[in-house]
Chain A
């Protein structure tokens, strides 16, 4: 489950969850920097399909076994979906949540009512078809990995294996249907960092989060969907302030 881990000696835990089509290694710079003060892990999303709740339960059990003093979770893109779901289960045991260009299942469900967002998420529906995505990923991996750059998302760093985690879109849709009535209740402080030029997700509005997040702030940052990889210094600054800020 664990892709990267460092700073085991520290009592406060930070979990970084990567998005699609990334790998846990995208967080390396963050893990190395923050491990000076925190126990930092970056789980690797399995390359083969697993049950949504099973994987979530693995992380929950791992956290429970470590008994950290404080827990922070950072999720980017689809990693934000996992992060938000975990926050909904950890409740008061979670100290802080950072969502980077991503949101929870419930917010995304509501977004799909917006035709512009539907158009931007076209690939999500392609991934629901049987065999087609597997065939495309096997036959044209390099071409698929150029799509973010074609969409002017120049901060993207390609990882061929990352494409294999496309199954998340399948379980995400199933999970959306299963939890259609569920109203998450996220009690931890939440910081939502969003790029101004994200090609895949529309810039969020406060009312999208108000129902489920008790204490949140949104910061819009100049950049693309992977801005946190291009502007590490700036994001480090925001994160460190957030982790150290008890308010």
Chain B
């Protein structure tokens, strides 16, 4: 196990693969102003769309209904491809209570009830710019939810400083994990594939087609795998460089529900900062 972790740590320092780098160059670099604009436009659209769907969701909707509507809203606004299609979780599914394999992350026929927590997570590609956002809300009043969201907002305010280069990626993961556990919450993102706290964002090729596997389009697998995979995801073993554009997604849990946010973080020679300082949280 220790050897595997060491190998994963080594692999996380690979940012591109010889020859393949001609097609998939390293994204461990500061984004240009044009790129920042592109990512911001995509993220704003995604956030507005989740808010639109939030306003329409009613008690009794299924996760599938909400996911289909979110996809429709985004496609109506010009989105043709996705890094991943919408994930929607209700109630205990927001803390992955029933997840046994990757297929279980997908939207189900589970219906939402009053005062339950809802998470919408979607990654549209707009004008070749990928974004990935997560938005949590509650269908009614729920004191425990309010407390969890307040804590999530605290975590959000702490994260940019962790990317100032003084500590490595695996230490960032560990620090966030410690903060979450110190307040009695569960670390739910440790249940994500490779336990990622975040992943790099890419400029996707135009008209990439939409063959998908488990909610992710083929270009998403290509963007990650063609760059060596491990250097693209902020996992507990990540030791690569931090510069670049990241989607950060801390996900915390209580026994009956979970809450998360996901947003783009810019890490360049200036201060690490959220792409949009105004948060959804």
Residue numbers of A with Cβ under 8 A of B are: 51, 53-54, 57, 60-61, 64, 88-93, 178, 181-183, 185, 187
Picked from B55, B60, B76, the residue with its CB within 8 Å of the CB of A54 is B76
Q: Within 8 Å of chain A (Cβ to Cβ): is B59?
A: yes
The reply to whether B58 and A93 form a contact with Cβ atoms under 8 Å apart is: yes
Q: Within 8 Å of chain A (Cβ to Cβ): is B190?
A: no
Q: Within 8 Å of chain A (Cβ to Cβ): is B109?
A: yes
The reply to whether A60 and B56 form a contact with Cβ atoms under 8 Å apart is: yes
B contact patch SS: helix
Picked from A57, A90, A93, A181, the residue with its CB within 8 Å of the CB of B72 is A57
Q: Within 8 Å of chain A (Cβ to Cβ): is B115?
A: no
The reply to whether A57 and B69 form a contact with Cβ atoms under 8 Å apart is: yes
The reply to whether B76 and A182 form a contact with Cβ atoms under 8 Å apart is: no
* B residues 106-135 touching A (CB-CB < 8 Å): 109, 111
Q: Within 8 Å of chain A (Cβ to Cβ): is B185?
A: no
Report chain A residues within 8 Å CB of B69.
53, 57
The reply to whether A89 and B61 form a contact with Cβ atoms under 8 Å apart is: yes
The count of residues in chain B whose C-beta lies closer than 8 Å to any C-beta of chain A is 18
Q: Within 8 Å of chain A (Cβ to Cβ): is B62?
A: yes
The reply to whether B60 and A53 form a contact with Cβ atoms under 8 Å apart is: no
Q: Within 8 Å of chain A (Cβ to Cβ): is B162?
A: no
Report chain A residues within 8 Å CB of B138.
none
Nearest neighbor of B60 in chain A, beta-carbon distance: A91
- Docked complex Cα distance between A178 and B75 (Å): 17
Picked from A89, A178, A183, A187, the residue with its CB within 8 Å of the CB of B56 is A89
The smallest C-beta distance from B65 to any residue of chain A, in angstroms, reads 7
Nearest neighbor of B53 in chain A, beta-carbon distance: A57
The smallest C-beta distance from A168 to any residue of chain B, in angstroms, reads 17
Q: Can you show 26 pairs from A to B with CB atoms below 8 A apart?
A: A51-B76, A53-B68, A53-B69, A53-B72, A57-B69, A57-B72, A57-B73, A61-B52, A88-B65, A89-B56, A89-B61, A90-B58, A91-B58, A91-B61, A92-B58, A92-B59, A92-B60, A93-B58, A181-B64, A181-B109, A182-B62, A182-B64, A182-B109, A185-B60, A185-B111, A187-B60
The reply to whether B56 and A91 form a contact with Cβ atoms under 8 Å apart is: no
Report, nearest first, the 5 A-B pairs whose CB atoms are least far apart.
A91-B58, A53-B72, A91-B60, A54-B76, A185-B60
- Docked complex Cα distance between A61 and B74 (Å): 15
- Docked complex Cα distance between A92 and B52 (Å): 19
The smallest C-beta distance from B63 to any residue of chain A, in angstroms, reads 11
Q: Mark B33-66, 1 if CB is under 8 A from A, else 0.
A: 0000000000000000000100110111110110
The reply to whether B60 and A61 form a contact with Cβ atoms under 8 Å apart is: no
Q: A57-B69, A89-B65, A182-B64 are in contact. Are A51 and B75 (CB under 8 A)?
A: yes
The smallest C-beta distance from B215 to any residue of chain A, in angstroms, reads 15
- Docked complex Cα distance between A185 and B55 (Å): 20
Picked from A57, A90, A93, A181, the residue with its CB within 8 Å of the CB of B76 is A57
Nearest neighbor of A91 in chain B, beta-carbon distance: B58
- Docked complex Cα distance between A198 and B59 (Å): 36
The smallest C-beta distance from B71 to any residue of chain A, in angstroms, reads 8
Q: A53-B68, A181-B109, A182-B65 are in contact. Are A64 and B55 (CB under 8 A)?
A: yes
The reply to whether B72 and A51 form a contact with Cβ atoms under 8 Å apart is: yes
- Docked complex Cα distance between A164 and B225 (Å): 47
The reply to whether B72 and A61 form a contact with Cβ atoms under 8 Å apart is: no
The smallest C-beta distance from A123 to any residue of chain B, in angstroms, reads 28
Report chain A residues within 8 Å CB of B60.
91-92, 185, 187
Report chain A residues within 8 Å CB of B109.
181-183
Q: A181-B109, A182-B109, A185-B111 are in contact. Are A54 and B72 (CB under 8 A)?
A: yes
- Docked complex Cα distance between A92 and B140 (Å): 14
- Docked complex Cα distance between A47 and B69 (Å): 23
- Docked complex Cα distance between A150 and B80 (Å): 45
Report chain A residues within 8 Å CB of B64.
181-182
The smallest C-beta distance from B178 to any residue of chain A, in angstroms, reads 42
